[in-house]
Amino acid sequence: MNNPLGPLVALPGVAEAADRAREALAAVHMHKANRRGWQATAAEAAVRAGRASAAIDGGPSELPADGQVTNPVLAGSLRVAQALDGDSLQILVGVWRRAPLQALARLHLLAAADLAEGDAALGRPRADPGIAERLSLLADIVLDGSAPAPVIAGVVHGELLALRPFGSADGVVARGASRLVAVASGLDPHNLGVPEVAWLKDRTGYSAAAAGFASGDPVALGAWLNLCSEAFEAGAREAVSIANSVDG
């Protein structure tokens, strides 16, 4: 069987960028603080990821002083972050490995609880032509695709941004799914990295690269995949800062 991701891995710089991301995240897991207390650093990483992901989509990034989060984008993003941490993460990873579309539905239910038009829309892809078929193909790639984990994560992330399958909170879902790939593949097994911070720092570049991925142009596809791997590498540096703060 032909590997549909093979041509993407062969694009200029893609394999090398994926290798750098993998090495950076592997080093983070060897940090002294993460060898003995990764649960604390993972929890902090999840909060930072949730805040950054919300801000990418126009929500606030700061938590209210009273702890009462009322903004629906931030609240949904933090719910996704919570689901990607601790015991709930392992449950979600198990679902992802068996039935990726069910995991995406769960992420949307969490992300869009205060945004979707009625409960019936939660976790249900839009009925527009082609969406079900493309989601099915995406699930096949997750289950059967052969490529470095950062490449698979980038394809999942980019396809969900392009497809906007749910019509609400699709960006938060896409970034959450990217993190799921990182954990389930062993790229970032404890979910310590925070690639969302890199995407937030250059939202214009992130949006432009995502649009390029959606175009299908080979050069743009390579640029998006490289950007995603570079964000994983930058997210590893963010994880080091978290570990240093705990260790200090």
Decide which of 3.10.450, 1.10.3290, 1.10.10, 1.10.3470 is the CATH code for 11-57+71-125+133-247: 1.10.3290
CA separation for the pair 192, 32 (Å, rounded): 13
Calculate the alpha carbon distances from 24 to 88, 122, 203, 234 in Å: 25, 36, 23, 9
For the segment 142-193, what is each residue's pLDDT rounded down to a tens digit? 998 899 999 999 999 999 999 999 999 999 999 999 999 999 999 999 999 9
Burial level of 128, CB count in 10 A (0-12/13-18/19+)? exposed
pLDDT higher than 70, residue 1? no
- What pTM does this model have? 0.96
Q: How confident is the model at residue 248 (pLDDT cuts 50, 70, 90)?
A: low
Domain ranges of the chain: 11-57+71-125+133-247
Provide the pLDDT for residue 4. Answer: 85
